[in-house]
Amino acid sequence: RKHYAVFGTPISHSLSPRIHAAFAGQSGIDLDYVAIEAGADDFRAKLEAFAAAGGSGANITLPLKEAAFALCRDSSERAVRAGAVNTVIRNEDGSWRGDNTDGAGLVRDLTERHGLDLRARRTLLLGAGGAARGVAPALLDAGIGELTVVNRTPQRADALADALGEPGRVHPRYFGDIAAFGEFDLIVNATSAARGGGLPGLPRALVGRRTAAVDLSYGEAAIPFLAWARANGCHDAVDGLGMLVEQAAESFALWHGVRPDTDAVFAALSGRAA
Ligand code: ATR
């Protein structure tokens, strides 16, 4: 039996153990997958203890994705571009290899589950932390149009735009100027504002005829932004539950070489019949 875990804080309500148990059940793979509470101060020690106890792989979630990237021996190209790691795989020598399945999970959820054509969509990315970094490269690769990045702390938006390396296509802007941005076809909330003081006000002028609003979080944390989206006429309002299931499936495939069926698991988690 192999051992897996998800590290982050707060972690007690994480759905990942349930998702991986369901995938394992489908594929007949014998594994356990637990949630381990860890913050910036004790993440390294807890990951080392997990490795010493025979851990084979882990997911890394808020707020540790950038820290995880820093402590991996090597990382996939998409993790390097994101500067953030959500999946670690144990190397033969005991070190960790980092990958990031968030962006691929988001794109798969939006295009396949929700039927959204992302090509040429003018996109607004709210936030420039680990979650935003994880998804931005995959959105660009999926063919979105221009990408505008805004963040409460402007330096982080600048840094993310620089890291993405497409200056003609990616534009960092100030939150304070948001009233003058015009319309977007895709608005992605990658902030953790709902867990803190709430997002600064978003003007209705951001919303166009076919705007899709996507929150990378799910459950209560996604409610304020998606309520704004519905109240302001967004065509689609999508939470991060599907992305969560899809990124888990990508991680599962990396660890076990088997791609699980995500529809049944998504249906069960969203309270719908499979
Ligand atoms: P995550 O992995 O969720 O991205 P993070 O790296 O701590 O976690 O980033 C959180 C993001 O939410 C950041 O973009 C943060 O803005 P700052 O870089 O200015 O801190 C954003 N954020 C958090 N609380 C916010 C709030 N109340 N208003 C606006 N943005 C907020």
241/132 Cα distance (integer angstroms): 16
Distance of CA 235 to the CA centre of its chain: 22
Ligand 1 pocket test: which of 14, 150, 152, 174 has the largest number of ligand atoms within 8 Å of its C-beta? 152
Q: Is 243 in the pocket of ligand 1 (CB under 6 A)?
A: no
Shortest-distance atom of ligand 1 to CA 61: 2
What is this model's ipTM? Answer: 0.96
Q: Is 201 in the pocket of ligand 1 (CB under 6 A)?
A: no
Residue whose Cα lies nearest atom 26 of ligand 1: it is 193
In which residue are the tokens 């709210």 written? 126
Q: Is 138 in the pocket of ligand 1 (CB under 6 A)?
A: no
Residue whose Cα lies nearest atom 14 of ligand 1: it is 127
In order along its 274 residues, the chain shows pLDDT tens digits of 999 999 999 999 999 999 999 999 999 999 999 999 999 999 999 999 999 999 999 999 989 999 999 999 999 999 998 899 999 999 999 999 999 999 999 999 999 999 999 999 999 999 998 889 999 999 999 999 999 999 999 999 999 999 999 999 999 999 999 999 999 999 999 999 887 777 888 999 999 999 999 999 999 999 999 999 999 999 999 999 999 999 999 999 999 999 999 999 999 999 865 4
- Which amino acid belongs to residue 205? A
Q: Is 127 in the pocket of ligand 1 (CB under 6 A)?
A: yes
3-state SS record for 74-113: EECHHHHHHCCCCEEEECCCCCEEEECCHHHHHHHHHHHH
Ligand 1 pocket test: which of 66, 192, 217 has the largest number of ligand atoms within 8 Å of its C-beta? 192
Contact 9, 37 (CB under 8 A): yes
Q: Is 199 in the pocket of ligand 1 (CB under 6 A)?
A: yes
Shortest-distance atom of ligand 1 to CA 190: 4
Total-model pTM: 0.95
Active site residue 65: yes
Domains of the chain in sequence order = 2-100+246-269 (3.40.50.10860), 103-239 (3.40.50.720)
Q: Is 105 in the pocket of ligand 1 (CB under 6 A)?
A: no
Long-range contacts of 267-273 (CB under 8 A, 24+ apart): 268/22, 269/15, 269/18, 269/19, 269/241, 269/245, 270/241
Q: Is 168 in the pocket of ligand 1 (CB under 6 A)?
A: no
Contact 84, 61 (CB under 8 A): no
Cα of 131 to ligand 1 centre, how many Å? 9
Contact 70, 60 (CB under 8 A): no
Q: Quick one: pLDDT at residue 199? A: 82
Residue whose Cα lies nearest atom 25 of ligand 1: it is 193
Q: Is 115 in the pocket of ligand 1 (CB under 6 A)?
A: no
Q: Quick one: pLDDT at residue 269? A: 95
Q: Quick one: pLDDT at residue 181? A: 97
Catalytic residue from among 65, 78, 90, 108 = 65
Q: Quick one: pLDDT at residue 272? A: 64
